[in-house]
Amino acid sequence: MVQSFQRRGLMLVLSSPSGAGKSSIAAALLKSDPNVVLSVSATTRSPRPGESEGVHYYFVDVSRFEKMKADGAFLESAKVFDNYYGTPRDHVETKLRDAKDVLFDIDWQGTRQLRENARDDLVSIFILPPSMQELERRLRGRGQDNEDVVQKRMARAADEMSHWSEYDYVLVNRDIEKTIAQVQNILAAERMKRARLIGLGDFVKNI
């Protein structure tokens, strides 16, 4: 008989510079794996066309954000570009207890805070583009930003990328399907880690 163990959920962080493929990877993971749920952040930036409240973000004003922060409602929070972003704590903690794996699309500042506060639950993956030229090509290819914004994203990319070595895994996204498969492999192995399994000691005692 195959013995399966209960386990605590893990926190899977994906970070990358804009345009490296993080959003496509996250979407594929959520679609392929019912055990993975997305952490929906609060942000002070305005919704873009096609974004809806509670699905992509919780859109809040600065005073509400500051109140939430002061109340300890965030697991982590940071200023990115010119806006504030934060991960609401309650949803994440409930899902982890339910043995769900929670996916985070957050930057290096937030990842650093999670590492400080929840190291045992954290699995962090940094996605790199194959080259800066390719990154710029992809940013233009999505056609969602004007030249000014593309230049801003490129400038910020170098800064975000300088934090690659703070992550558990670093993947170069040359081929999106392969990168998705690599993330799925990481998740599969991390789920089997001894420290996450509940009841393993008792099982071994009675073996």
Ligand X SMILES: Nc1nc2c(ncn2[C@@H]2O[C@H](COP(=O)(O)OP(=O)(O)OP(=O)(O)O)[C@@H](O)[C@H]2O)c(=O)[nH]1
Choose the contact partner of 9 out of Mg ion, ligand X, none; CB within 5 to 8 A by kind.
none
87: helix, strand or coil:
strand
Determine, following the binding rule CB under 6 A, whether residue 45 of this chain makes contact with ligand X: yes
- Considering only 13, 106, 122, 161, the residue that binds ligand X (CB under 6 A) is 106
Determine, following the binding rule CB under 6 A, whether residue 85 of this chain makes contact with ligand X: yes
- Is residue 20 within 8 A of residue 126, CB to CB? The reply is no
Cross-strand pairs, 84: 79
Q: How far apart are CA 161 and CA 128, in angstroms?
A: 7
- Considering only 13, 41, 95, 171, the residue that binds ligand X (CB under 6 A) is 41
- Is residue 94 within 8 A of residue 29, CB to CB? The reply is no
Q: Minimum Å distance from CB 77 to ligand X? A: 6
User: Burial level of 49, CB count in 10 A (0-12/13-18/19+)?
Assistant: exposed
Q: Choose the stretch contacting Mg ion; rule: CB under 5 A; options: 16-24, 66-74, 140-148, 174-182.
A: 16-24
Residues that bind ligand X (CB under 6 A): 18, 22, 41, 45, 76, 78, 80, 85-87, 105-107, 109-110
